[in-house]
Chains A and B, each alone.
Chain A
Amino acid sequence: MTKGNSHQVRDSLASRVFDALNYALLGLLGIVTLGPFIYLLLGALTEASYFRTVGVAISPAHWSLNSFRILLGSASRIYQALKVTVFITVVGTVLSLAVTSALAYGISRKTLIGRKVFIFLIFFSMLFGGGMVPFYLVVKWTGLIDKLWSLIVPFLVNAWYVFIMMRFFESLPPDLADAAQIDGCSGMQVFFRIVLPLSKPVLATIGLFYAVGYWNTWFWGTIFLVDDRLQPLQLVLRGILAQLLLVVDPETAMEAAKMDSQSMPPMEVLRMAAIIVTVLPITVVYPFLQKYFVKGVMVGAVKG
C-alpha cells in the first residue's frame, strides 16, 4: 500500500489520468535505464558476419558467444585486467570491512577515553584534505607506487561507512553484551562472538559498497601505476573505448580461440562485449542485496 492512498473509494478522472501518465513515465525511465545495456548485450552477442552486414542482432538465431570467448581468453587484455580487478575487489573489500568495523566498534564504546577526538578526526577528514598532490606524495612515500596495493591501502576506510557502522553498533541493545559478560566473555569476545554475527546486514551493505568502489576503481590507476599489466578493468576499458588500446591482438586471439577470420568478431562487437563483461558482476549481484543497502542508506542519511 502506498502512503496516503488507502482510503480511496472512487477515483476522480484527474486521478486516473495521472496514474496512466505516471505509469507510462516510470516505464519510460525503466526503458531508458535498461535500454543501453540491452543494446550492448545484443551487440556483444551478435555473430560476426551478421554484424558486418546488418548490425545488431535481436533474434537469437544470429547470436554467438565468440566475442566473450575471445575476451576471456588468455590473449586478451581484458583477461589480465579482470584478474587484477578481482584481486583488488576481494582483498580490498575484506580488509576494508575488517578495519572499518573494528574502528567503528571501538569508537562506539561510549566510555572510551579520547572517543570524541577520534570521532572528530574521522569526521573532519570528510570536510578537508591536502589535495591530490600531497596525497600522491604520501602514497609515494609509503612505497606503493606502481603496485596493486596503491589502489587498496590509500582507500581502505571510508569515513561515511565508519559512521554508519558506528551508529549500528550503538543501536544494539546493551543487555546483549551484559548477558555475554555475565557468562564470562571479555570485551573482545563480545565483539567477535556476538556483535559481528549480529551485524551481518550492515556488513553485507557496507561490504557491497566497498566492493563496488573497488570494482569500479580506475582514476588513481592513471597516477599510481606505471606497469601496463597492473591496470584494473575499468582503466583498460577506458583505453579500449578511447581507441587507445586494442582489445586483443587479432592474430594471437584467433589462434588461441581456434577461430577463422570470418567468425572473428569485429572490433565494435568486442568493445561492446568488454563493457558487458565489466558490468555483469554488479548487475547480477545488486538486486539480491537490495534490502540491505536500502536500509543502510536510510541509516546513513537520516540523521540521529
Chain B
Amino acid sequence: MDLGSAPWADGIQSAAVEKDMRSVGEGRTFSHILRRMWFDRYYYLLILPGLLFFIVYHYVPMWGIVIAFKDFRLFRGISESPWVGFEHFRFFFESPYFPRLMRNTLVISGLNLILVFPAPILLALLLNEVRHHKYKRLIQTVSYLPHFISWVVTGGLLLYMFSVNVGIINLTLTRWGLQPLRVLGSREAFLPLMAGSAIWKEVGWGAIIYLAAIAGISPELYEAATMDGANRFQRVLYVTLPSIVPVVVTMLILRVGAILNVNFLQMLILMGNDASLYEVGDVIDTWVYRAAFFQSQMSLATAVGLFKGVIGLILVWLANSFANRVSESGLW
C-alpha cells in the first residue's frame, strides 16, 4: 500500500474522505482552498486537455467577434484593421439579401417545426402499437440507418432517386413513355424535397427519445384506463399522449428557441452550385459561408453571424424560461 500517494494520507477510512473534505472546506480560507485543490490535483490534470480545447476553439474565437466592427482583411490581421463600428450591420440590413435570407430562414425553419418535428413523435406512437416484437425491432433498426450517413451520401441517394438523367424514378417514367419529374434543381420542389429528406433522415433517430419516454409510463395507468372502459385508441389519447407531453414540450421549446438555425449542411447539399436555388434555399448560414470564404467578406460575414448568434441566444433563453414556467421542463 502506497499511502504516500493516496490522497487521504491521514486515514484509511476513505468512506469518510468526502465528508472529511467537506469539513475541511468548512473553513473557506485561501489556504483551505489551496489545500483542496492540491488534494485534487490529478483531477485538474484530467480536465486540463478538455478545458484547453474549449478555451482555444470555443472561447478564443469569441474574441474574434471584434472583426464584425472592423474592416478586416486576412493579410493585415485584426489589430491592423480599422474600426468601422456598425457599418457592416447597416450594410446587411439595407442590402437586398436581408429580406430574402430572413424569409428563407424562417420559412424553412418553420417547415421543420411543423413537419419534421412531429414526425418522430408520430412514428414512436405507431411503433408502440405494434404487437409483433420482432417486426417492431426490425422497422426501428432500419429507420435510424439514415441518421448515420452524411448529407453528401443523402444527396447521392437523392440523385439516384430523382435525377432526370440517372434517377430511377425518372428512368422508369420515361421507359413507360411518361414525362419525367423535375425535382432536383427545381425551385417549386425545393421545400417539399427539403422537408421530405429531413424527415427521411431523422425520423427514426428522433423516435428513440419518445419511445423511451413511452416506455417509462407506468403500466398501472393503462390498467386503470382499461378498467374505466377505455378502448385501445382512448388509451393512447388519454394515457400515452399526456405522459409524453413534458418531453415533447421541452424539445419543442428548444426547437423554437433555435428558430434561426437551419440544417446548414443539408442546405449546402440541396442547393449545390445551383445559384437559381438561392432564391428559395439560401439561408443566413449559407450566405455567411459564401461571403466569408468565397467573397473574402470576412467582416461582413462575422457581423451577420454575430447578429444571428445574439438573437439565437436571446430566443433560447426566452424559450427556456418559458419552458420552466409552463412545465418545469427547461434545459437549465
Interface residue ranges, A against B (CB under 8 Å): 1-8, 12, 14-15, 18-19, 22-23, 25-27, 29-30, 32-34, 36-37, 39-40, 43, 55-56, 99-100, 102-103, 105-107, 109-113, 118, 121-123, 125, 127-139, 142, 153-154, 156-157, 159, 162, 174, 177-178, 181-182, 184-188, 191, 212, 215-216, 218-219, 222-223, 234-235, 237-238, 241-242, 268, 271-272, 275, 278-279, 282-283, 286-287, 290, 294, 297-298, 301-303
Contacts and interface: CB of A to CB of B under 8 A. Distances in A.
A105 B61 CA distance: 26
B318 interface: no
Given A109-B40, A157-B50, A286-B145, A131 B288 contact: yes
Contact of B51 (A113, A118, A286): A118
A32 B235 CA distance: 30
Contact of B46 (A56, A105, A138, A219): A105
B61 A130 contact: yes
Contact of A5 (B129, B149, B212): B129
B322 interface: no
B309 interface: yes
Contacts of A178: 14-15
Nearest to B247: A302
Given A3-B128, A132-B293, 13 more contacts: A3-B217, A7-B222, A102-B46, A105-B43, A107-B47, A132-B288, A133-B64, A133-B302, A219-B268, A241-B155, A294-B212, A302-B209, A303-B250
* Chain B contact residues, majority secondary structure: helix
Contacts of A218: 150, 152
Interface in B198-240: 200, 203-205, 208-209, 212-217, 219, 222-223, 225-226, 231-233, 235-236, 239-240
A278 B42 contact: no
B166 interface: yes
A32 B291 CA distance: 37
* Chain A contact residues, majority secondary structure: helix
Nearest to A111: B21
Contacts of B25: 111
B101 interface: no
Contacts of B223: 7
B176 interface: no
B98 interface: no
B332 interface: yes
Contacts of A107: 47
Contacts of B40: 109, 111-113, 187
Q: How large is the interface on B (under 10, 10 to 19, 20 to 34, 35 or more residues)?
A: 35 or more
Pick from B1, B50, B144, B309 the residue with the most CB of A within 10 Å: B50
Given A2-B136, A3-B240, A182-B12, A22 B59 contact: no
Q: Which 10 A-B pairs have the closest CB atoms?
A: A134-B64, A103-B50, A130-B61, A131-B305, A106-B47, A181-B14, A134-B61, A216-B150, A4-B222, A184-B1
B161 A36 contact: yes
21 contacts: A3-B222, A19-B129, A22-B129, A36-B160, A105-B43, A113-B33, A128-B62, A138-B57, A182-B12, A186-B5, A187-B7, A216-B148, A241-B159, A242-B272, A268-B166, A278-B152, A282-B148, A287-B141, A290-B141, A302-B212, A303-B331
A162 B273 contact: no
Interface in B18-43: 18, 21-22, 25, 33, 36-37, 40, 42-43
